[in-house]
Amino acid sequence: MTNRPQPRPGVLDIAPYIPGKSTAPGVDKVFKLSSNETPLGPGENAIAAYKQAGAHLEDYPEGSSLALREAIGGVFGLDPARIVCGAGSDDLLNLIARAYLTDGDEAIHTAHGFLVYPIATLGTGAKPVVAAETEFTADVDAILKLVTPKTKVVFLANPNNPTGTYIPFDEVKRLHRGLPANVLLVLDAAYAEYVSRNDYESGIELVATSENVVMTRTFSKIYGLAALRLGWMVGPAHVIDAINRIRGPFNVNAPAIAAGIAAIRDSAHVERSREHNTKWLAWLTEEIAKLGIKVTPSVANFVLMHFADAKTAADANAFLMKRGLVLRQVSAYHLPNCLRMTVGSEEANKLVVNALAEFLGKKA
């Protein structure tokens, strides 16, 4: 007996998620490169749709996000009935955990996987199980070796945050083949729009042909709608039915729905964002490597830089912060020697490279 309410076992074991920093005290101009936001922002069509929705804030949104699901279905060739929308893809990841995990179950994620996976798992009373990575990349064999009768969910970020690495679609299919039919494979494809590799597939095909695979996506990255908290998931009808039974009745707000519809149909803006990222991702990777800083090859919209040790990484971060360049420290991802940098504007990218050169005492 205690003298105050107690949370369920596991909740106090959760390390709270800490977002990327947004400010640099004492600096007039700040370049936020800590949260993988697009430097191009949302498209004009999405902004206009958002503003128009503002004239009707007294009305509840349509509860199933039907118009948005139809727009997503139209773009990707999917059945809207097999799509569910949420307040960001992390909302959907938590709903998956609530629906498919309980006390004593296990959910697998990789060593440097998205921090929401263990948070969502622990919140249900289940146990997060960590699979080793190879060269900061998901290892299918390492994941499969950890599968037990207690395993109910496998979370796979592909591409992965914060490493930027991915596994080819053949490897994803091999992972799926190795899983028992009662284990749900969750393919988190938040950065799929940025990938230009021929051997990559976000997961739509596997979802269409399987009963135990779902794919989650977000509007926060290439579409530039991070402030609105909007994501979606496609899956088998029975999984969508389960998620719909526990999600909030109005879990997506009306302005987000309106902006999302406009954004996903604005292929020109998406292509501009992709082209910008492709150009500057390659440039950053090359220029940072020239400074002697190891960069993990990335297919997303960020780069992971490896410094000699944790102190050097922290010192570099402090040096950049004083110049208004806000990157992401990733110690929570068990990468204390690293900093993650979002691909920013041309100005921001060049400022970071020049500042790193100054920090290292080299000429850019």
User: Cα angle at 126 between 120 and 129, to 5 degrees?
Assistant: 85
pLDDT at 192: 98
Residue 364 has pLDDT above 60, yes or no: no
* Confidence grade of residue 16 (pLDDT, cut at 50, 70, 90): confident
**What is the residue extent of each domain of the chain?**
12-41+268-359, 44-266
Q: Is 139:132 a contact under the CB 8 Å cutoff?
A: yes
Residues 133-152: tens digit of each pLDDT? 999 999 999 999 999 999 99
pLDDT tens across 179-190, in order? 999 999 999 999
Tens digits of residue pLDDT in 195-244: 999 999 999 999 999 999 999 999 999 999 999 999 999 999 999 999 99
> In the 8-state DSSP scheme, what is residue 159?
S
Q: Taking 80 as the threshold, does the pLDDT of residue 174 lie above it?
A: yes
Please tell me whether residue 325 adopts helix, strand or coil conformation.
strand
Separation of alpha carbons 25 and 28, rounded Å: 8
Burial class of residue 239, CB neighbours in 10 A (0-12, 13-18, 19+): buried
CA-based nearest residue to 217, from 183, 194, 198, 199? 194
pLDDT at 27: 84
Closest Cα to residue 215, out of 79, 113, 84?
Answer: 84
Question: Can you give the pLDDT at residue 26?
Answer: 80
Distances (CA, A) of 65 to 49, 86, 99, 202, 230: 15, 9, 20, 22, 11
Over 60: is that where the pLDDT of 363 sits? no
102: confidence class by pLDDT, cuts 50, 70, 90? very high
For domain 12-41+268-359, the CATH architecture is: Alpha-Beta Complex (3.90)
> What's the confidence (pLDDT) of residue 237?
98
Structure-block tokens of residue 222 = 């290439």
pTM value? 0.95
Burial (CB count <10 Å: 0-12, 13-18, 19+), residue 14 = middle
CA distance linking residue 318 with residue 67, whole number of Å: 46
Confidence tier at 9 by pLDDT (50, 70, 90): confident
| Helix or strand (DSSP H, E) at 214 | strand 213-218
350 vs 352: CA distance, rounded Å: 5
- Topology of the domain covering 44-266: Aspartate Aminotransferase; domain 2 (3.40.640)
Per-residue confidence band for 19, with pLDDT thresholds at 50, 70 and 90? confident
